[in-house]
Amino acid sequence: MSTDASAVPAAEPLVKLESVLSMRNYVLNRPGKLNSLNTEMLEQLRPKIEEWNRSDIASTIVGTGTGRAFCAGGDVAQIALDSQDEGKRPTAIRFFKREFELDYILASLNKPYVVVMDGITMGGGVGLSAPAPFRVATENTVYAMPETNIGYVPDVGASYYMSRLDGQLGTYLCLTGTTLRGRDVFEAGFATHYIPSRRVPSLLERLASVEESDLALVDRTIEELSCERQPEEGPFHLTGEVRVALDTAFRHDTVEQIVEELEVMAEKDSSEAVRQWASQTLSTLKVRSPTSLKLALYAIRQGKNLNLIDALRMEHQLATAFCNQASPDFVAGITNVLLTKSKEPTKWQPDNLQGVTNDIIARFVDKKSPFVDTKGHSFDIPADLAKKPLPFPYLYALPVEDEIAAMVKGSHKESGGNALKRKEVLANFDRLREHKMGVKEKVEEVLSRRCTEDKDGFLVWN
């Protein structure tokens, strides 16, 4: 029996492109794959993003996702399969190139860019959201860079963004792949705002009514829907003495030193909370790819001193080496974790840190390595965007420790060059951030951890 073709429903587009008044919204629409990015999605997104950025009518660009994810990453399972086939390997490498180019373009837009992370946001989803001046978390947000668990390294600009977080938080998250949820994503600095998921439709409606490309106005529009931490949510767990331990352990420049410090903490620290955290962190690192751990630490230390486009080029070099089989861990990790979904730990090669020699690392980082094609890291970026200076990525987030330190030390432009008391520092940040939700709690936590008071009650940064 024949079927009337007109009765067959058209396939849903992988990316929905919507215009609502002056707002332009891309909706990642691959819910069965948690909106994981593939080449087709990238090819749909980039020309439309560039068109919207040039438009005199569009005022704000917004990114959202269908279902329970914003974007769970790139389609690395397909990439791993392609990388094993010498004929298809260039396709895998080109995917990373296209992805990283889009990530940079999003960071250099001329218009306010808002991403609503109402669900799983990992890997490639971080690449789409991290460049946004406005990153909105909800109680549904699940955020991570879990690449060391699949024998790869954090990319999509992670070496740039993560290295600019407070202390060693970025190093810890890149190496362990630890997942943050809900309001913790906001308090860690990855989100600039936190709103309940039920308010997302109202947010989109309000953003559509913003007729001018005005960053301050967009900031206020989102902030009006923000809410404080609720008692049932509990406190952010990476604070206080655990946070001091984290910054201490992950300050080292070799993974072996990090592990050694954690082992001492797990056995001898006077705090039960720190001992438990250190023990759990050691257990996590033990099942991660040793090669990936060393490369992830290398990348984040390099990224601290790179601009975004150079950080992306470095990450593309690492991705190229993985695709060119510089390590078997990439295929082994993806096969074990994503394809067969084995409950057994992945068998890494080498399976310990000592086995990851300088020669192995050189396969990825040496410009003359046969696994690296340096000519392939030249990105195709519109000239006007490539030359544009990029703003600090945490401009609209909670105050970072460096800014709080400047206020305490008297070097902040709003401190008047004077020593300040706790109440004065809190009042200054409340005023500077226009009573933003969460500022008081963030500043108080940093002051309690990093400062003492002299005999007159003035703060001293330690």
DSSP code at position 326:
S
As a whole number of angstroms, the distance between CA 221 and CA 414 comes to: 25
As a whole number of angstroms, the distance between CA 129 and CA 107 comes to: 9
Packing angle, helices 240-249 and 255-268, rounded to 10: 140
Active-site pick, 99, 147, 219, 315: 147
Among the listed residues 263, 191, 274, 190, the one whose alpha carbon sits nearest the alpha carbon of residue 237 = 274
Coil, strand, or helix at residue 377?
helix
Active-site pick, 73, 124, 125, 438: 124
Whether 155 is catalytic is yes
Packing angle, helices 401-409 and 422-432, rounded to 10: 130
Structural contact between residues 155 and 300, judged by C-beta atoms closer than 8 angstroms: no
- Burial environment of residue 365 by CB neighbours within 10 A (0 to 12, 13 to 18, 19 or more): middle
- Burial environment of residue 353 by CB neighbours within 10 A (0 to 12, 13 to 18, 19 or more): middle
As a whole number of angstroms, the distance between CA 330 and CA 384 comes to: 36
Whether 263 is catalytic is no
Among the listed residues 346, 338, 337, the one whose alpha carbon sits nearest the alpha carbon of residue 291 = 346
Which neighbouring-strand residues pair with 28?
15, 65
Active-site pick, 99, 155, 219, 329: 155
Q: What is the DSSP string of 68-130?
A: TEEE--B-HHHHHHHHHSTTTHHHHHHHHHHHHHHHHHHHT-SS-EEEEE-SEEETHHHHHHT
Active-site pick, 74, 123, 167, 182: 74
Q: Which residues are catalytic?
A: 74, 124, 147, 155
